[in-house]
Structure 1
Amino acid sequence: MTTSSPSQVTGYAAAWSIVFVWSFWLIVSRVANESGLTIYDLTAMRYGLASLVAVPLCLYYKPWRGLKLIQIAVISFILGPVYILCVFSGFRYAPAAHGGIFMNGVLPIISILFGIVLFRVLPGVRQVLGAALILVSAIVLAWDGAATSGHNAWIGDLLFVIGAFFFASYVLLSERWKLGAMQVIFCGTVVNAVLYLPIWVLWLPSGLAQAPLQPLLLQAVYQGFVPNLIGLIFIAHAARRIGNSNTSSILAAVPGVGGLLGALILGENLSLLSTLAIGLLTIGLLTSVRRKKPSSA
């Protein structure tokens, strides 16, 4: 049996750390609906507050020097307001657990599709089996969610899937382009802050002035600093060290953790069928995970 190199160990550690970061983010984003803040406020926090840290770092490291203009444009769009607003809108219709299921749970399937369509890389038997288990569990969860969470839950699920395609594209390009942490922060935070914040201030509805202080601080800290700084750095590191497929597969553990936290913290209903489906999805995750070979295509 081969042992993992130190770089792979840190890659796996980063990927599993983001599982817990992402799971708590699902909870925080779900309770944002009761804070009085609009989805446009949350998006402004994500880019604006993170930029307070990111701008000085980017001015020092000058990460744009290693990027082509097209790369800056593509990464900035993928991590931009379209992606974020889809995700925040999804929480209006579907419970927090569904965010984990349909954003993170389907990532291995999207990763396989990208590999086939873009690179003509066929998945292995384990990947296909894992993806099949994940797909079956996602269908069961969507059907059960419509019965227990309301008939409009499918709208949130669809928005989460759209977000998953954006996110899977980011993970893929992080690996292919060997993006560094500061390059990701520059594109995902600073560029989008420059483009989005003036539009938010001038034209978009806001509940910032009326929001209670405690929920406002919670959203400011978590939305502003955790996803766009800690999250993007960890994911970029994981994608570079253990590969896009392994990173996507490990992040599929978020549905189980997110569902558990949703039930414990928010009191969201998890039926026996949903619980079994999340268990099946986790098995699919563990089946899909494979070691990155030393020489990759």
Structure 2
Amino acid sequence: MAMVFWGAWFPLSRLSVTESITPEDLAILRVGVPAALLLPVALRLGFKAGKAGWWGTAAMAGTIGIPFALVLGAGLLHAPAAHAAIFIPGTFPALTALLGILLLGERAGALRLAGVGLTAAGVGLTAVSALGDAPPGGLGGYALFHLGAWMWAIYTVTARKAEVSPLHAAAILSTVSTAAFLPLFLLFGESRLLEIPFASLAWQAFVHGILGGIVSIWLYSHAIGVLGAGRTGVFAGLVPGLGALFSALLLGESLAWPELAGLAVVTAGIVTVQAGR
């Protein structure tokens, strides 16, 4: 179920930033709503990121907090949601494996390295095809997607180092990120939250804040506890394909044959990386 939420979140986010709200609004809903709900957790367990210390807190809040939501929202203004689903969840497992090898001393292994290579090949195949027909600003959108993948990789490695519970990690990143960036949002951010109907605002808060910011993370963490990290990682390989499927159903986006081939190679790369853990 977590993979379904993640796959659907990309087209729903593109729909939001192109039709009703700004990337800044998306970010504050994606992180601010969980911050309000998880503040008691952070106050009870603390804001320090376990064994990763205060630097870990900064890394968590500065990646998958408001910065990632801003990067995604801005990228979706210029590039399709289906491509975001390939570039971000399709590549961050390989980037996480690389950072784990380099920073945490994890075992490289032939399978993990092969998975990294497959992922790079699949993303490259998709990028070459997509950039050939990219609209103005499209290159910037893909660059932002790549930055978002690195943010997820940095967060994942930091969370491993911190060794805190997933709910505690979500509480840390959402509360600290909101506290750090909310003043900037109020001073300099462009917002349409007060211009849209209340029903639409409530729906956006539910989709981006509750489902995207809390429920999907809890479900993913629960799956790891029940199935183990390896099997859950294999299911995570479904996210790029689900993202492309939901983008086609909700937005009418389509992938060219080279992009479909790239999607297949990326999915194989994710499964191979996880199999080599």
TM (normalized to structure 2)? Answer: 0.86
Name 2:60's counterpart in structure 1.
Answer: 75
The answer (yes or no) to whether the contact 2:237–2:271 under 8 Å persists in 1 is: no
Choose from 42, 64, 73 the match for 1:88: 73
Spell out, residue by residue over 1:188-232, the C-alpha distance to the aligned partner (whole angstroms, 9 max, x if none). Answer: 111222222233223322111222455433322111122322233
CA shift for structure 1 position 250: 4.7
SS in 2 for 1:50: helix
Q: Which runs of 5+ in 2 are unaligned?
A: none
Choose from 172, 195, 209 the match for 1:187: 172
The answer (yes or no) to whether the contact 1:89–1:156 under 8 Å persists in 2 is: yes
2:272 paired with 1:271: no
Choose from 234, 238, 256 the match for 1:253: 238
Spell out, residue by residue over 1:56-111, the C-alpha distance to the aligned partner (whole angstroms, 9 max, x if none). Answer: 3444x334477443332332222333222112111011101111111111123212
Aligned residue pairs, count: 274
Q: Percent identity?
A: 24
Choose from 200, 208, 213 the match for 1:223: 208
Distance 1:172 1:242, change over 3 A: farther
The answer (yes or no) to whether the contact 1:48–1:224 under 8 Å persists in 2 is: yes
Deviating more after overlay: 256-265 vs 106-115: 106-115
CA shift for structure 1 position 272: 2.1
Task: State how far apart, in whole Å, the 2-side matches of 1:206 and 1:194 are.
Answer: 18
Task: State how far apart, in whole Å, the 2-side matches of 1:195 and 1:116 are.
Answer: 31
Task: State how far apart, in whole Å, the 1-side matches of 2:49 and 2:102 are.
Answer: 28
Task: State how far apart, in whole Å, the 2-side matches of 1:129 and 1:66 are.
Answer: 32
Aligned-partner residue type, residue 283 of structure 1: A
Task: State how far apart, in whole Å, the 1-side matches of 2:122 and 2:201 are.
Answer: 35
Task: State how far apart, in whole Å, the 1-side matches of 2:155 and 2:231 are.
Answer: 14
2:30 paired with 1:46: yes
Aligned-partner residue type, residue 143 of structure 1: V
Name 2:270's counterpart in structure 1.
Answer: 285
Task: State how far apart, in whole Å, the 2-side matches of 1:291 and 1:129 are.
Answer: 9
Name 1:62's counterpart in structure 2.
Answer: 45
Distance 1:291 1:272, change over 3 A: closer
Spell out, residue by residue over 1:238-257, the C-alpha distance to the aligned partner (whole angstroms, 9 max, x if none). Answer: 678845x8766653432111
2:7 paired with 1:23: yes
The answer (yes or no) to whether the contact 1:20–1:254 under 8 Å persists in 2 is: yes
CA RMSD of aligned residues (A): 2.7
Aligned-partner residue type, residue 29 of structure 2: M
Distance 1:151 1:143, change over 3 A: farther
CA shift for structure 1 position 281: 2.0
Aligned-partner residue type, residue 268 of structure 2: I
Q: Which protein is bigger by CA-based radius of gyration?
A: 1
2:127 paired with 1:146: no
Aligned-partner residue type, residue 246 of structure 2: L
Distance 1:272 1:65, change over 3 A: closer
Choose from 114, 132, 149 the match for 1:129: 114
CA shift for structure 1 position 162: 0.7
Task: State how far apart, in whole Å, the 2-side matches of 1:166 and 1:246 are.
Answer: 23
Name 2:17's counterpart in structure 1.
Answer: 33
Name 1:167's counterpart in structure 2.
Answer: 152
The answer (yes or no) to whether the contact 1:63–1:186 under 8 Å persists in 2 is: no
Distance 1:49 1:259, change over 3 A: same
Q: Which runs of 5+ in 1 are unaligned?
A: 1-16, 293-297
Distance 1:108 1:205, change over 3 A: closer
